[in-house]
Amino acid sequence: MKFTAAHWGSYQFKDGDPDLTPLAGDPAPSRVGRGWVSAARNRDARVLNPVARKGWLAGDKGAARCDDSFVEISWDRALDLAAAELDRVRQSFGNAAIFGGSYGWSSAGRFHHAQSQMRRMLALSGGYTSSRETYSHAAAEVLFPHILGTSNRAFQDDMTSMPLVTEHCELMLAFGGISARTGQITSAGTSVHEVGPWINALKDAGVRVVTIAPERGEALGDWVAIRPGTDTAFILALIHEIVRLGREDQNFLARCTSGWSQFKRYVLGDSDGIPKTPDWAAKICDLPASRIAKLAETLTEKRVMVSMAWGMQRADHGEQTIWAGMALACVLGQIGQPGTGYAFGYGSTTPVGRGVRLIPWPSFPKVPNAIKDFIPVARITDALLHPSEPYAYNGQTRHYPDLRLVWWTGGNPFHHHQDLFRLQKAWCRPETVIVNEHNWTATARRADLVLPATMSLERDDIMMNRRDPTLLFMSKMFDPVGQARDDFAIFTEISDRLGFRDAFTEGRDTEGWLRHLWAQSENVAKDHGIALPSFDDFRAVGRFDVQDSVDTRVAFQDFVAAPDSNPLSSESGKLTLFNETIAAMDLHNCPGHPTWLPPVEGGVLKPGEFHLISGQPDTRLHGQNDMGAESLASKIQGREVCTLHPDAADALNVHDGDLIKLSSPRGACLCAVRVSELMRADCISLPTGAWFDPQDVNGEMIDVHGNPNALTRDKGCSDLSQGNIAHSCVVRAEKWTGPMPPLRVTRPPVIKT
């Protein structure tokens, strides 16, 4: 038996098998994995040969980048061109003019990690401009060190374990819900999927789950169908009612928080003249005031976990919602206790709340980057459109770099960025775009030089996730499609042309690096009382399970037990309800305490408008495997499927299977219709990840495949974090009665040589 792994699960197979079987012991294998092999073998979607854009070879500097054909070239010429262009830009403009773009989701393997491979090569070439944070939770990454005194990564690691929630919690207040759909995935791979079984365990244990979300999804128990983007007002009203009842935990607030008096004055309306009562919030949230008041009273009578999904902060003023959620947990005073308190990310990805030992397995080593400049990850379009212009970020005034070369590996910004038509305009600004890619994604189709890369099923690697108890040797299932090469091989050849091959490889080939990483792992394992097999034995068996890996955790337990002896790294050493550092930044869009700030889009809608919900899909990871059998079978008439409430469908005169056009001031897209009562009537839900396919249809540019980021606004959620606001989007909808535009999501025109 052989094994392999991806961000959506682990699998086993025998030589000659045409498909994969989920790893034995996985209680709920992911749906995403069903489309993996077919996506890998879809030659129409794979990049088979190195190609260069025709106009770029002729000397243009990007004007036709988003609408051009390609010329097939040899690997030697492609590598020569890539190395020469990198050298030209660094010599002419300096290394800060090079942007190293990658998002890290290309491979679950420890060695063939595209982001690490690219960054190592670029660092050795003299450095590059990088990005910070993630699209998943940028607002939290910047905010949490201020208010929790810990990084988001550390908070995720220390999250109260799910089994303790099942055992001790009586009421879970789940903002954004908890979903096995998003729980299919985890960065660096997973051997088991626990979120679905955990949801069932909560139900069996009698834990009351109150889901606050505009779409019911997999919600257990009570569903509070809140108006999108208004959760902060809802939370403030809960706090106001708890204070009115005199049931705030004054001892916890005094011992473990700072800034309660300032925040309390705001909640009660003493500072701005607006008491944040249930009646006040009811109009904003489109909910009965009595329901808000009753829930507040119930919270004071139960053992409560306040859970925030990652998506809560991907909205305008997203910091306020997760900060307000923390404040509510502080007012209830149950942080630091088993199964209760405050959580961020349950169900947003597989391992959040997983009760296992954390083991820091080694990874492909980094090289220090001589260029210290960076951009927030969601500000790439602004950086390309506005070089040298100032922007605010976390108390600093920074300036966008002047980027001349973009090198993208292991990612697809034309999936995860917002306002893709604006990004397409910006994408024509740099002089050169180079992409390592295995598929003809929208990003590859908009590159000047495309270097075909292998997929995980076409190479050996090792899955070692510090938050997973299983180590797997990832065996190659089949030979590379076309002329695809590993990123390591590609960057080795480029390093050779630039004169630092030995520094990049350290004298090792792929086999040598895998053995080196395993030798390092053996030393790490010894520190944790674990004896790993030899590399050869591990490869022969293919799997190693860490015994006695269970290690339940309670977030902030030591701090709450003795705040003076175990202070946090925040400005006060405590959980900050009013943060003086943030207040001193004097940001109009992120004050010094949780505040209700109306979103740039939303509120009460005009006739014909809908709130757009763009969550993660069920059949693919972001855009990965969109050309696999599972994702293709889920589409209708080849288009991504949106969900409408029956009342909305009646108003639009559409039924299951019809097509509609969604539009916003940014653009338009086509999608098919599914009707469901499990959402608000003023919302439309359209999953992300359909490969962007903009076409001129009767004089209007429309994404004909159904990517919601053709509609979303490209704006930072505040001047604190500059995270994205994908969930603050209003669209108009109309039935599509025109002809069906053909899809153009596979291989573009390629001129054979």
The model scores a pTM over 0.85? yes
pLDDT at 61: 86
How many helices (H) and strands (E) the chain has is answered by 25, 32
Among 350, 355, 415, 28, which Cα is nearest to 189's?
Answer: 350
Q: How confident is the model at residue 219 (pLDDT cuts 50, 70, 90)?
A: low
3-class DSSP state of 91: helix
CA distance 192 to 200: 16
Q: Which two tokens stand for residue 413?
A: 């910004």
Residues 6+ apart with CB under 8 A from 48: 452, 481, 482, 483, 484, 747
DSSP state of 624: B
Biggest distance spanned by C-alpha atoms of the chain = 79
pLDDT at 517: 98
Measured over the CA atoms of residue 562, residue 566, residue 569 and residue 571, the dihedral's sign is positive
Summarised one tens digit per residue, pLDDT across range 297-321 is 999 999 999 999 999 999 999 999 9
Q: Which two tokens stand for residue 596?
A: 């209700």
Q: How confident is the model at residue 221 (pLDDT cuts 50, 70, 90)?
A: confident
Summarised one tens digit per residue, pLDDT across range 77-107 is 999 999 999 999 999 999 999 999 987 777 8
DSSP string across 411-457: --HHHHSS-HHHHHHHHTSSSEEEEEESB--TTGGG-SEEEEB--GG
Q: Is the pLDDT of residue 709 over 80?
A: yes
For the chain, domains (ranges, CATH) are 2-133+370-545 (3.40.50.740), 138-350+561-585 (3.40.228.10), 609-735 (2.40.40.20)
CA distance 702 to 687: 17
Share of residues in the chain with pLDDT > 90 (%): 95
Summarised one tens digit per residue, pLDDT across range 36-48 is 999 999 999 999 9
Q: Stretch 504-522: mean pLDDT, rounded?
A: 98
Q: Is the pLDDT of residue 263 over 70?
A: yes
Summarised one tens digit per residue, pLDDT across range 657-690 is 999 999 999 999 999 999 999 999 999 999 999 9
Catalytic residues: 103, 105
Average pLDDT along the chain: 96
Q: Is 478 exposed, middle or buried (0-12, 13-18, 19+ CB in 10 A)?
A: middle
pLDDT at 217: 78
CA distance 140 to 314: 9
pLDDT at 585: 98
CA distance 105 to 114: 8
Q: Stretch 123-135: mean pLDDT, rounded?
A: 97
Q: Which two tokens stand for residue 41?
A: 């073998």
Summarised one tens digit per residue, pLDDT across range 408-453 is 999 899 999 999 999 999 999 999 999 999 999 999 999 999 999 9
φ and ψ at 576, to 5 degrees?
-100, 115
CA distance 582 to 572: 13
CA–CA–CA angle 539, 545, 551 (5° rounding): 150
pLDDT at 618: 95
Among 21, 5, 81, which Cα is nearest to 50's?
Answer: 81
Among 513, 621, 532, which Cα is nearest to 30's?
Answer: 621
* Range of lowest pLDDT (164-168, 569-573, 747-751): 747-751
pLDDT at 548: 83
Summarised one tens digit per residue, pLDDT across range 222-260 is 999 999 999 999 999 999 999 999 999 999 999 999 999
Q: Is the pLDDT of residue 753 over 80?
A: no
Summarised one tens digit per residue, pLDDT across range 170-210 is 999 999 999 999 999 999 999 999 999 999 999 999 999 99
Share of residues in the chain with pLDDT > 70 (%): 100
Summarised one tens digit per residue, pLDDT across range 367-386 is 999 999 999 999 999 999 99
Q: Stretch 502-510: mean pLDDT, rounded?
A: 98
Contact (Cβ atoms closer than 8 angstroms) between residue 322 and residue 139:
yes
Where are the alpha helices (H) located in 137-273, listed in sequence order? Answer: 138-147, 152-157, 162-168, 195-204, 231-244, 250-256, 260-268
For residues 704 and 17, the model is more confident at 704
Q: Stretch 493-497: mean pLDDT, rounded?
A: 98
Summarised one tens digit per residue, pLDDT across range 581-612 is 999 999 999 999 999 999 999 888 999 999 99
